[in-house]
Every structure is written in structure tokens, then in C-alpha cells.
Structure 1
Amino acid sequence: MNPGGQDARADAPDPLYERLAAYAGRPAATAASGKDPVNAPMIRHWCEAVGDTSPAYRGPDAVAPPTMLQAWTMRGLAPDPGAPEDLEASGAPEDLEAPGGDGGTGRSPAYDGLLRLLDGAGYTSVVATDCEQEYLRPLRPGDLITYDSVIESVSPRKTTKLGTGYFVTTRMDVRADGEPAGTHRFRILKYRPVERSTERPVERSSGREAPLRPRPVINRDNAGFWSGVAEHRLLIQRCTRCATLRFPWLPGCNACAGQEWDTVEASGEGTVFSHVVMHHPSFPACDPSGEGGPYAVALVGLVEGVRIVANVVGVPYDKVRVGLPVRLEFLRTDPDLELPVFRAGEGG
């Protein structure tokens, strides 16, 4: 697993990295317990939020959606009872093994120490970059969740478009009633933001800044989709067990839980199912016209029966409406990125 970004002055010594690298392999949580057992109400709320109507998640034989793996381990908004109020009491960054009260959560001081070390060095901003999950067994209502978490790696200093910083990857091994249930890897970038004036290139013809579109995260689950985009093809996954189409790309079928799939190419025809107009905050990089100002983002219903989020082009933002016919095309936003967008049909 190679975090993105370029090495920042690879030939320059980095004493901070030597201290950060010492955290790799240290526990972030040991023998921790989920606040609640797997339960039907949380499954229902999750499915309602994401619009998942699979019968596998309802009834007496229901299982939890696999992507809920991390949900059962979250501590929530309230502080953990008995957890130390002052993290310094749990061990300074230099003292990786210092014990601290964890209120029964299994929480280790190492991860907090790592973040404090980065904050103290000026790397105060954070962004989640990607996660990966592996599933070993279904989770069912009543299962008691326990887990261990480890700081898997800290990257050398990297320079990204956001700024210079370090990628921190943690791995959580989740158990259900003592049995291995899955693994959740999560990566963040702790970085020092660059000055806005140095972050964006300048167009010589107009003298205006030309902001770059944020890069998509490409992983083993969606790499086929982006390969299709590079060929100007919009590929939809199709379960080879039940023939259900699914989009966005997922590792398994929501209808029958089948793991095998192939693809079909979308015709490109669709209609606007729903949309929003982005006025504020201003984010010119995501404006397909490149002129700044408001722009429309639509949930497009394809004729194949799945939906995709994309920009609508060819009409002013205030003319986009539900039911508007649209047609797929591909927009090159910069030399390194091309994206599917939808152009309003004639007479729309």
C-alpha cells in the first residue's frame, strides 16, 4: 500500500520521521469492545440512510450490511466513561508504552501521542484519504463486537496538492463473539497546508488561477470503472449469480450477496432524478465550465436502472430540473483527469 504524493526533498534528513516511524506496529486499541451489540435498529437506520433495500438485512435471518463493519466499533460523540481527560497523563509521545486509564475501551496512548507529535510540529490539518475493508463472516443481530487496532504504518514526508505531511495508516481487526469478522484499514493525511498562492497554477492567457479537480481515490474495488472511463466507456457491474446491476461499484451484490460479477456498458441515456445547485462554498475546481460561480450536480437515472452523481453541462445551472433528458459524455478537466458528465438533451 503506497500512499499518494511525492517525497518531500527525499535527500533531506527528516528527524521528525524517525520519531514518527517508531510508532509503526504500536497498538491504537487492545481488546476494545463495541458500545452496542449488532442490532436491528442500527441496521435499519443504516439501510434507510444509504437506500439499501436488500431483503438480506431484514427479518429473522437478517445480517448486517458488510460495510457497517466499522460502525460497531465507533465510540460515538460522548466521551468514554473513565477515559483520561488529559491525554498527557496517558503518556507523552516519547513514552510509547506509558499506561493510562482507558475506561475499559482498550484505548492505547500511542495513537494520541502520534497525533500530538504531528500537531506540535505544525502538521495540524487532517483529511481522510481512503479505507479498505475485508469481510470474513457475516455480522448478525446479537453479535458482541471486540477489536484490536494497530498503527500499521507512517509514510515518509510527502508533498501533495493540499500540502506537505505524513500518511498514517491504521488497521483494525474486528471479531464477532470472539471469531474473526473482518479487517478495516483507514488512512489519513496529517499535513501543513500550503499557501493558496502556491497551490494553484496560473493560466498565462488569462492570468487567472486554474484550480485542479480533486483526484478520485482508485482502489481494487473500483479500478475497473476508471479503466472504462479512460476508454470513454461507462461500465456498470452486473452480478453473475442474479444479474442485478449495481452502481457505484461494490465488492459484492446487494441483492444476493454474490461475489462474482461482470460488467455491462451503459448506453449513456438518462434523466435527472434529483439535483442540487452549488452556490456556497465556492469550489471552482468542480465547476465543469471552469468559469466559477454556481453549478449543478445531479443524480442521473440511467436507462439501465442505476443512478450516478455527475455534473450537468450544456444548460445554465438554473435550467436543470427533475426529468431533464441527458446524454453521457466525457470531460477532460486537466491533462491528468477525465470524468463522465451529462449534457442536457435537445429541447430539455
Structure 2
Amino acid sequence: MTGAEGGTNAAAVTEDDAFHERLTALAERQIEAGEIRGMAATDPVNLPMIRHWTDAIGDANPLYTDPEAAADGVHGEIVAPPAMIQVWTMPGVNRGGKQVSTPVDDVLRTLDENGYTGVVATNCEQTYHRYLRLGERTVPATRFTGLSGPKRTALGEGYFVTWDVTWYSGDEPVARMLFRVLKFRPREREEDPPKAAPYPLRPAVNRDTEFFWEGVAKGELRIQKCADCGELRHPPGPVCPSCRSAGRTHVVATGEGEVYSYVVHHHPPVPGRETPFVVAVVELPEGVRLVGNVLECEPSEVGIGMPVRVTYRQMDDELILPMWVPREA
């Protein structure tokens, strides 16, 4: 490598290589079983916090907050919503008290110190083994599981960092979460984004949503339907919110609807998209609402009640996304 015009600075490359080796060594650090345990939750599972959370989320399930309904329910007592699992062990704003450093903390701190200060969450997958009950106190165990990079992205050069958290009550694991972030060096404004990259914003496909994306690939807009009470719901889920049945099927929507609400996105930049663009909530005659981009018209032409129809756009070699266009287009 030379320092000639258009060449690469050898010293900079050497410095980058040394940083990458140091980062890889941190990621590969072996940890003992007892070392991965973090601090126990400050407070046990409690009803006031459950009330705050369900109110904020809009979850009216009485099994979480009503003692009488819970006593007659399948659990026989109040239980905490499984999706609350992170709440019980989140550190405070000031991160007070003794903190347990994990390999994840070491890697993230090293990336920050070397200019990779941007962060965006890319994956979050949770598995619940059982419900938590009032009075239980959880303890998190964090384990570093993956480091990938450096990679060029529309946001800038970065590393994908992955870790697992398992929550225990006593010695029993009650929930697990895979979490992945992209830590990146913010791209300079004058720098051109990478060319011909795969579309970076990919939907999460799992057992609850795979039927929807299989339909998209076939040009069908599929809506989940309860196999027992017949209620349609979107986004898809494992359990009917009306009758609590786990039986599922689907219907194919007409593909037409009206703009129920929308925003025009100007900033920050979004990988793979040119701003400004419209993100709309579209209400279907079937009674559900879907989120998607509105294309083939100026953002100023979009309005509440605008008739639209679905269209399918090939984003890269593998990904097709449903979007919306004016019905007369």
C-alpha cells in the first residue's frame, strides 16, 4: 500500500487492523458460568409496576391486574405480562448501585471509544418459559454471542453486536432474549452511500408472521383470522385478543383501503430510502389497519381518507414489501 494519490494510508490501515484484533479478543473472552449473572432486580414483581406498564401499552387483560379475575383464571393469581421481562432488571437513569461488567459492556465501550458512537437496534427475539408471579425477584445472565464486521452500511461503517440475556427466578430460567445492535461510525454528509447493497431494513419473520410474507411473495395481502371466533387481527399474533384461542388461519384482503393516518419522514436518513417519504396507516374494509409507504405521488398529495391500493415492490433479490399507491394510479 502507498500514500500516492488515490492510495490508502498504511498507518491508518495498521491502526484499524489493530483495533479489530483488540475488539475480536474482547468478544472471544471466555467467561465463567457464575460471571454472567448480573445484579438482581431492585424490586420484586409487583402490581403497581404491572399497572403502569399495561396502562402504557394498552393491555386490558384482567389476569394481569384484577385479583378476582385472576383468581378465576388459568393461573389462579395475578401474573406479570411476559413482555415485561426487561422491566424488572433495567438500571435506573443514573445507573446507581454496583454494576456488573460483561463482555457486552466491554465491546460496546471499546466501540464508543473508537468512534463507533452511532447505534441502532436490528433484532430482538424473546422466549418465555413461564409467567412471573407477584413477589418473585429476577436475576439476569448476559452472554456475548456474536460480533460481525466491519461492514459498510448506509448509516456508516459498523459492527453488528449480538448478545443473549436469560432471566432467572432462583435457579429456574423464566425468559430469554436475543438482542442485536449495529454500532456504526456516523457517515459524513458528503460521503456517498454504498451502491448495490441489499435492502437493509428487513422484517422479522417468525412462526406468527411467516404466513403473511408467504402471501406477499405470491401477491396476496393476507390477514390473520382466529380459527374459533373468526376475528381478524393485524399485526399477527399467537393468541386471539378476543377469545384467547391459539387457533389461527387467514383471509386474503381485497388490497384496497384508505389512509387513516400518516407522517412525512424527512430526518434522520433511513438506510435504503430517499427522503422525504410517506409512512401511512391504511385502514382496510376488512376492519384492520396496516402500515406502509405511499408511493407514486408527492408527499403533499397524501391526505386522510385518500383511497389507496396495495402494490408489491422488489427491494432486493430476496425481499418483497407491500406498499400503497393512489387507487387511480
Instruction: Give the SS at the match of 2:110.
Output: helix
Aligned-pair CA distance for 1:246: 2.6
CA deviation digits over 1:225-263, x for unaligned, max 9?
A: 323222222222233344433322334443444444233
User: Which of 38, 41, 46 is the equivalent residue of 2:45?
Assistant: 38
Residue number in structure 2 paired with 1:327: 309
Distance 2:24 2:271 in 1: 39
> SS of the residue aligned with 2:80?
coil
Corresponding residue to 1:137 among 108, 127, 130: 130
Change (3 A) 1:257 1:179: farther
* Superposition pairs of residues 80-159 of structure 1, within 5 angstroms: 80-81=96-97, 83=98, 102=99, 107-140=100-133, 142-159=134-151
Separation in 2, partners of 1:245, 1:38? 33
1:270 is matched with: 257
In the alignment, is residue 186 of structure 1 matched against residue 172 of structure 2? no
- Among 211, 214, 224, the alignment partner of 1:224 is 211
Of 200, 205, 223 in structure 2, the residue corresponding to residue 236 of structure 1 is: 223
Task: Compute the displacement of 1:133 (Å).
Answer: 0.8
State whether residues 134 and 184 of structure 1, in contact with CA within 8 Å, keep that contact through their aligned partners in structure 2: yes
1:131 and 1:185 in contact (8 A); partners too: yes
Matching residue's letter, 1:134: T
Stretch of structure 1 that moved more, 54-63 or 67-76: 54-63
Change over 3 Å in CA distance of 1:187–1:20 after alignment to 2: same
Distance 1:264 1:23, change over 3 A: farther
Matched, 1:69 2:85: yes
Higher relative contact order (CA 8 A, sep 6+): 1
**CA deviations over 1:142-197 (Å, ceiling 9, x no partner):** 24231232223133434242444433322222234764321112122333455663
Kept in 2: contact 1:272–1:300 (CA 8 A): yes
* Secondary structure of residue in 2 paired with 1:79: coil
Cα pair 2:82 2:132 within 8 Å, conserved: yes
What's the CA shift for 1:139? 2.9
CA contact (8 A) 1:143 1:176 kept: no
Q: Does 1:19 align with 2:25?
A: yes
Cross-structure match for 1:92:
none
The aligned amino acid for 2:43 is: D
Question: Any conservation in 2 of the 1:168–1:188 contact (CA below 8 Å)?
Answer: yes
- Asked whether the 8 Å contact 2:111–2:183 carries over to 1, the reply is yes
Is 1:311 the counterpart of 2:286? The answer is no
Give the residue type in structure 2 aligned to 1:75: P
Q: 1:263 to 1:127 in 2, by over 3 A?
A: same
Query: Is contact 1:23-1:114 (8 Å) kept?
Result: no
CA distance in 1, matches of 2:152, 2:235: 27
Equivalent AA in structure 2 for residue 37 of structure 1: P
Answer whether contact 1:237 1:263 (CA < 8 A) is retained: yes
Instruction: Give the superposed CA RMSD.
Output: 3.4
| Paired letter, 1:38 | V
TM-score (norm 1): 0.71
How far is 1:132 from its partner?
0.9
Counting aligned pairs with the same residue, the percent is: 39
Q: 1:238 to 1:300 in 2, by over 3 A?
A: same
1:55-100 per-position Cα deviation (integer Å, ceiling 9, x unaligned): 444422154332222222211313223x3xxxxxxxxxxxxxxxxx
Alignment size in residue pairs: 299
**1:17–1:157: 8 Å Cα contact kept in structure 2?**
no
TM-score w.r.t. length of structure 2: 0.74
